[in-house]
Amino acid sequence: MERAGGLRRERWLGYLFVAPMLVFLLGIILFPLGHAFLTSLYREAGVNIRFVGLGNYARLLDDPTFWNSLGVSVVFTVASVALHLVVAMPVALFVNGLRRGRTTLRLAFLTPWMVTPVLGAIAWVWLLDPHFGVANYLLRSVGAISENRIWLGEPGLALGSIVAVDVWRGFPFIMLIILAGLQTVPREEYEAASIDGAGALQRFLYVTLPHLRYLLVVATTLDVINTVRTFDIVAVMTKGGPVNATEVLPVLIFSTAFQANRFGPAAAIGVVLLGLLLIFSTLYVLLLQSERRERRI
């Protein structure tokens, strides 16, 4: 802040520069958000809309569809985020260790993240087609399955398939962040560890991981926030089916609002989802602060 000292007298000018952006955020995000909260206090009854206070929220408590969606969302998010990390870590280590072709390989691994999610999902619907899909054909050829599976038609399989597609689409971003973090690990520490007789695994555990810890916390949190909000892939691949097996919360919100035309209850589920995200990100901020304090010592 010291260096901005000379411009103190112009403090109001700073706000003038920020104002246009603020107008957008207030008008297009915060005002509608407030409106959504109000909407969640009303319920549609035929052509009438009446005020029900927290009635929509109370109803959620014993609404099995809501609890199912919450469960599906948790399973989907935990599985996807964990697998993003599990896939991204070795890829990042590998790419980082290359002497040549690092940029090319990074770009190649990034492609699933670049493609429009809806279009990637459509391609996967075709790959997983029960009769003509190449996935069934390949898996049969290598003996992984004995007959064609209906990947998006059986509850457990469908959720698994959605997770798989999200792992394909989501691991590159985590890889990118880990790659950036690896650049900050001092070379000498690896050399020192090698001299002390540490193998590859030990170097990873005692040199790489401690350096990456902070970054991994950041990346995982951002990834959870993004994954919980996933709509496109599921909407295109299963629309939440079969029998609600893949109905993550965003899909439930969407169908409640725009297919059943029940805006009040839909907004209530949305506010609950936002609440969960807020709790999660508050934990994250607290974690970061304690981590930062630790680093300073």
Partner 1 sequence: MKGGAAQPGNLVAWVGMGVLLAITLFPFYWMVNTSLKPQSEVFQSPPTFFSFNWTLTAYGRVLATRAVGRYFWNSAVISVGATLLAVGLSALAAYGLSRFRMRWERPLILLLLFTQMLPGTLLIIPYFQLMAKLQLINTYTALILAYVSFALPFSTWMLAGFFRSIPLELDEAAMVDGCGRLKAFWRVILPLSLPGLIAVGIFTFLLAWNAYVFALVLTTDPKMFPLSVGIANMMGEYQVLWNEMMAAAVLATLPVFILYGFLERYLVQGITAGAVKG
Please report, as residue ranges, which positions from 7 to 26 form the binding site for partner 1 (by CB under 8 A): 7-8, 10-11, 13-18, 20-22, 24-25
Only segment of 49-57, 74-82, 150-158, 276-284 that touches partner 1 (CB under 8 A): 276-284
User: Can residue 109 be called a binding residue for partner 1 (CB under 8 A)?
Assistant: yes
Among 29, 78, 145, 283, binds partner 1 (CB under 8 A): 29
User: Can residue 279 be called a binding residue for partner 1 (CB under 8 A)?
Assistant: no
Among 51, 53, 54, 126, binds partner 1 (CB under 8 A): 126
Q: How far is the CB of 242 from partner 1 (least distance, A)?
A: 16
Q: How far is the CB of 64 from partner 1 (least distance, A)?
A: 20
Instruction: Please state the φ and ψ torsions of residue 215, each to the nearest 5 degrees.
Output: -65, -35
User: Can residue 145 be called a binding residue for partner 1 (CB under 8 A)?
Assistant: no
- The 3-class secondary structure across the chain, one letter per residue, is CHHHHHHHHHHHHHHHHHHHHHHHHHHHHHHHHHHHHHHCCEEEECCEEEECCCHHHHHHHCCHHHHHHHHHHHHHHHHHHHHHHHHHHHHHHHHHHCCCCHHHHHHHHHHHHHCCHHHHHHHHHHHCCCCCCHHHHHHHHCCCCCCCCCCCCCHHHHHHHHHHHHHHHHHHHHHHHHHHHHCCCCHHHHHHHHHCCCCHHHHHHHHHHHHHHHHHHHHHHHHHHHHHCCCHHHHHHCCCCCCCCCCCHHHHHHHHHHCCCCHHHHHHHHHHHHHHHHHHHHHHHHHHHHHHHHHHC
Q: How far is the CB of 46 from partner 1 (least distance, A)?
A: 18
Q: Which is nearer to partner 1, 29 or 286 (CB)?
A: 29
Closest C-alpha among 149, 154, 156 to residue 75: 156
Provide the mask over 52-81, with x wherever binding to partner 1 is found by CB under 8 A and - wherever it is not: ------------------------------
Closest C-alpha among 67, 43, 62 to residue 54: 43
Q: Cα torsion at 15, 21, 24, 29 (round to 10°)?
A: -100
Q: Which is nearer to partner 1, 70 or 91 (CB)?
A: 91
Q: Which is nearer to partner 1, 59 or 229 (CB)?
A: 229
User: Can residue 93 be called a binding residue for partner 1 (CB under 8 A)?
Assistant: yes
Among 60, 83, 139, 218, binds partner 1 (CB under 8 A): 218
Among 150, 225, 241, 287, binds partner 1 (CB under 8 A): 225
Q: How far is the CB of 140 from partner 1 (least distance, A)?
A: 9
Q: Which is nearer to partner 1, 23 or 45 (CB)?
A: 23
Q: Which of residues 155-214 bind partner 1 (CB under 8 A)?
A: 168, 176-177, 179-182, 184-185, 187, 190, 199-201, 203-204, 208, 214
User: Can residue 295 be called a binding residue for partner 1 (CB under 8 A)?
Assistant: no
Task: List all residues 6 or more positions away from 129 whose beta carbon is below 8 Å from its beta carbon.
Answer: 136
d(Cα 268, Cα 253) in Å, to the nearest integer? 9
User: Can residue 286 be called a binding residue for partner 1 (CB under 8 A)?
Assistant: no
Q: Which of residues 247-266 bind partner 1 (CB under 8 A)?
A: 249-251, 253-254, 257-258, 263, 266
User: Can residue 287 be called a binding residue for partner 1 (CB under 8 A)?
Assistant: no
